[in-house]
Amino acid sequence: MSLRHLVAIVRKEIQHIVRDRSTFVLVLVTPLALLFIMAYALTVDLEQVPIAVLDYDRSASSRALIRKVAVGKDLDLYARVESLEDVDRLLMHGEIKAALIIKPTFERDLVAMQGLSLQVVIDGTEPESGTFALDRIGRRAEAFVTEWLVREGSARGFTTSSLQPIQFSLRALYNPELKPKVDMVPGLISLVLGMPALSVALTIAHEREHGTLEQVMVTPVSRAELLLGKMIPYIIVGLINVVVIPLVALVTFGIPFNGSFPLFFLLSIAFLFAMLSMGTVVGVFMRTQPAALALSFLVIFFPGFFMTGIFFPIASMPAEVQMEAMVLPGTHYAIITRGIFLRANGMNVLWPHVAALIGLGVVFTTVAAFFFRKKLG
């Protein structure tokens, strides 16, 4: 074996890795990006879960309980509301994950040692955050009572055994039985319907790899027209799945569908446009199918799995990861599917996410058209 020949081959391969964009992404960028995504997504600790408080008592004791509940970084006192209608509105818009309701006789029952009756309303479309908030509120309510007995009750001869147990009344909206699949399946639809984006990326990369774009080079078709023409058939195929997949969810998994199907169908078009535009960008930048497949999994599949709120609450992710999640079409579509399926949301609630999908689609298409060249090499 010649050491000189071996060194020459090694040098040649290193130059290839550095110079070839596809290979560089596969061997260096992909492992680092996967580590970043999975480390943040799989090690999430719930923090800053937004809650609201409805205080009917408005006493010194109820205010002290609220201060106790709001201590720490795990719960975020998002709002103090005036009515149950305000609680319903915040839950409907997804602005809070739970609400603590303090009844009018709170302080009187506490002083009379009659026990405490508190109600917690949680968002059943995200059971993990709701039950987390319930657990933390319960613990702090018990700590509050213990501290009150030490401070006030001991002077009156009360002990912890004198007080009847705290009773929590739990009401879970949109998913009363807190079944995981009721929350999970509508979110998974955003992941499943995004798969055609992989096909678009592979198709464009295949044509560039095998030289079939030569026929297009002599036509007057613009870059934007060519890319949109490649996307539209996949949108049509995707819309067939938009009809089939909800039927499977309803019949097979028993998932409720409380909203408007025409609205769901219409908004799914915006999602498919955004996702396929994203896949087009991947196909434009990658020259081979293996590279396009690897990059598609890196920027479409893995972020869609870990960072869109399907399995892990976005609110508990680091701020920079939350910003990245907002650039993913699946994040907005998961909110849309859960909103329509479970909350019966309409455009008055979902329009920011619809606007985001359309905006992302336009941006991705513009980027793809700008960098796309109807030529080889």
Sequence ranges of the domains in the chain = 49-173, 180-371
Query: What CA–CA distance (Å, rounded) separates 210 from 376?
Result: 10
List all residues 6 or more positions away from 288 whose beta carbon is below 8 Å from its beta carbon.
22, 205, 209
Q: What is the pLDDT of residue 350?
A: 94
List all residues 6 or more positions away from 160 whose beta carbon is below 8 Å from its beta carbon.
145, 146, 149
* Amino acid at site 240: I
The one-character DSSP state at 156 is G
Give per-residue pLDDT as tens, 225-280: 777 777 788 888 888 888 888 888 888 888 889 999 999 999 999 999 998 888 88
Q: What is the pLDDT of residue 115?
A: 67
Considering the four listed CATH numbers 3.40.109.10, 3.40.1710.10, 3.40.50.360, 3.40.50.10140, the one that applies to the domain covering 49-173 is 3.40.1710.10
Query: What CA–CA distance (Å, rounded) separates 350 from 339?
Result: 8
Give per-residue pLDDT as tens, 50-87: 999 999 999 888 898 899 888 878 888 899 999 999 99
Q: Sorting pLDDT into bands at 50, 70 and 90, what band is 375? A: very low
Higher per-residue pLDDT: 247 or 373: 247
C-alpha pair distances (Å), 209 with each of 157, 203, 205, 290, 292: 85, 10, 6, 10, 11
Q: What is the pLDDT of residue 370?
A: 81
Residue 143: CA count within 13 A, CB half-sphere:
14
